[in-house]
Amino acid sequence: MPKPTAAPPPNVPTVPGALPVIGHLGPLAYHPLEFLLAARRHGDIAKIHWGRLPVYLVSSAPLIHHMLLDKDDAYNRSGVLLDRLEDVTGPGLVAAHGKEHRRQKSLLNPAFHTNRLNTLTGLMREECDRVITAWKPGQVIDPEQEMFTIATLAASRYIFGAPVGKDFAHAFRPLLSHMFTEVALRARMPLKLENIPAITRRFANSRHRTDDLIGSEVRAFLKDPHRTRCVLSYMLQHNPRPDTGELIAQAATVLIGGTETAASTLAWLWHELAHHPAAEQRLHHEIDTVLGDTPIAADHFPQLPYTQLLIHETLRLHHPTWVNFRQTHAITELGTTTLPAGTTLAYSLPALYRDPTLYPKPRHFDPTRWESDQPQPQPPFFPFSAGSYKCIGHNYAQILLRTLITTIGFRWTLRHTPGHAVVKEKARLTVHPSKLRMTVTPRRATPNLTACAGT
């Protein structure tokens, strides 16, 4: 981590309320989204105290755009949360920056070429069917858990080149949930909790079990020469003699990236559709009109504009990542502010996307705000980040979301169970709906399993 090479910028206001030693960690721990949204009032760039670490919160849309796109070579992807992700994934792409990030991205890029990803629609639909055909009319489900299971089955099949059992998904989620909770807790506490033996042992146990779970699939892949057209096989084309540890780290990175945020986004989408019957009706009409009795395929995507509007609006109102970080590696100008090398910056996409000057009625779920015939120019929107650190799986995520929305929407309607219509946001490393439970109701008396089972 670079050390500051100049005095901190003198013209940056400080957000009030910091306490000795812990700084702003209190509100960051208990209501981080509200705190970051309120902090925007103190200027385009404002200083907050992440414990004893000064962090410069960038709230202006043009400055965030400049940081991510115009001058992204001036910043490393670093920070108090990202620096700890390696504890979860190992030394994979999500925790890398600079030259190492570029090297690792070159290994994974072939697996995320758009033409290859478009062939995955059938795979994703089949894995979705494995879960939703087991639903019973009137069954109460945890939609985030169900979406996580589907996303895990789809992502792992593409990573390892063969289907995995539901037991894999059911074992993976609690391990990931525990590690994410621990990492978020460590990052928002002034004490170095990793030095407390009980916490260290508990986290190490989850990490060891996760490595064993993913490692067993990696080793099965390496023993089977018939597993092709998958993430690991494309990596082998680039490096025929890979380090098994790196394969495990990249598999963990892709698996986490392809499951955690997709599951929360889909859970929020079903939640919003249950509150907005007109939007749900329009989605069902689009699905029925475009698909009829045919299974979803990549060729259908251009004919599903409203489905894409729903994805956009869900990612705006319920963006899964509550804060991101960058760090300057040289003296850098950001707007009128000069930042020394080693300066830690943060930006919050949920706070940006709830700015009423950019998005009228920002707390209202309104997919039509994204329609191309709107008179106002579209505000900045980069839900998968931008620049050299843009999520490598952004196209994969879009295909997965569209496939699952249409496949589930073809068959089922989801309604809140009594007492679960009001849902709170729970921010760990990502933002989740808290205690969301929904009841599934078939849209058709007999689901057309034949139409949805083929490739």
| Mean pLDDT, 10 residues at a time, the chain of 455 residues | 57 94 92 94 95 93 90 78 73 85 93 94 97 97 97 97 93 90 77 66 87 96 94 90 89 94 97 98 97 94 97 97 91 92 94 94 96 74 91 96 98 95 89 95 61 37
Query: Kind of pairing, strands 332-334 and 337-339?
Result: antiparallel
What is the distance between the alpha carbons of residues 345 and 81, in angstroms, rounded to a whole number? 12
Assess contact for 287 and 402: CB atoms under 8 A.
Answer: no
pLDDT computed for residue 376 by the predictor: 65
For the whole prediction, is pTM greater than 0.85?
A: yes
SS3 label, residue 226: coil
Give all strands of the β-sheet with 53-58 in edge-to-edge order.
45-50, 53-58, 344-347, 324-328, 75-76
Q: Is 128 one of the annotated binding-site residues? A: no
What is the distance between the alpha carbons of residues 173 and 386, in angstroms, rounded to a whole number? 28
Nearest to 250 by CA among 264, 236, 265: 236
**Given phi > 0 = left and psi -120 to 50 = alpha, else beta, which region is 48?**
beta
What is the CATH topology of the domain spanning 25-453? Cytochrome p450 (1.10.630)
| H helix intervals, 188-301 | 197-223, 231-238, 244-257, 260-275, 277-291
pLDDT computed for residue 7 by the predictor: 60
pLDDT computed for residue 90 by the predictor: 79
pLDDT tens, 336-394?
Answer: 999 999 999 999 999 999 999 999 999 999 999 999 876 666 788 999 999 889 999 99
All structural domains of the chain with their residue ranges: 25-453
pLDDT tens, 193-205?
Answer: 556 777 678 888 8
Assess contact for 79 and 389: CB atoms under 8 A.
Answer: no
Between the alpha carbon of residue 435 and those of residues 83, 200, 321, 346, 438, the distances in Å are: 29, 28, 19, 29, 10
